[in-house]
Amino acid sequence: MSGGDADFGFRRVPAEEKARRVGAVFSSVADRYDLMNDLMSAGLHRLWKRQTVAMAGLRPGFQVLDLASGTGDLARLMAPRVGSTGRVTMSDINEAMLARGRDRMLDCGLATDMDFVLADAEHLPFANASMDRITMAFGLRNVTRKEAALAEMRRVLKPGGMVLILEFSRLRLPALEPLYDAYSFRILPRLGQWIADDADSYRYLAESIRMHPDQDSLRDMMQAAGLEDCDYTNMSGGIVAVHRGRVY
């Protein structure tokens, strides 16, 4: 991919540089990623992820692709649901994050039931119509060409399959916006400095949330990529939303 600019937080950078910069962010925070998630969300991210998996309607034997899998929170929840006849593939563009996830699955005794694939969501190395479910938690906003990633998800999904995207979205409680902004831009970078010795990466993460498409815009992007019956469910007042799209 070359040409054009892309958002990197509130800055514009050459599109071909965004993936490298995002990679540097997650390589920097990989070792403290899980701890920071718990602190940043007061543990709510675990509830959001469990609700997302519950919405997936998983069955034994399903082939599941978890994109931007990171340290594997979704994958760990999904593997028992698809059972020994199914398969969960953890995929991430960042080698440090994927290695961290693989180590966690080894610790949980689940690694033999999974595949681990280093891959770019814009260019998936999977066959057409090969997955029953595709999930992505808190990863789409970091993708340079979101339209390309959504089109790839559509290509890889089987008829009858579903894509589920859990992502930060637009707060639907205006009275809380000043508090939310103060937390995002003042407290979060300080937490990042204190816990991960990296304020800049968490400042980027806060900015990337504000630059991500809102609920309706992302639904429309999914439909434009060829997914059907696209909808979304807000959680925690719209701080996050789960978007779903299907193929028939």
**Residue boundaries of the structural domains of the chain:** 5-246
Please give the class, per CATH, of domain 5-246: alpha beta
User: What percent of the chain has pLDDT above 70?
Assistant: 99
**pTM: predicted TM-score of the whole model, two decimal places:** 0.91
Looking at residue 192, what is its pLDDT? 80
Convert the pLDDT of each residue in 184-229 to its tens digit.
888 888 888 887 778 888 888 889 999 999 999 999 999 999 999 9
The b/e string for 85-100 (b: 16+ C-beta within 10 A; e otherwise) is ebbbbbbbbbebbbeb
Taken in order 129, 152, 95, 46, the sign of the CA dihedral is negative
User: What percent of the chain has pLDDT above 90?
Assistant: 70
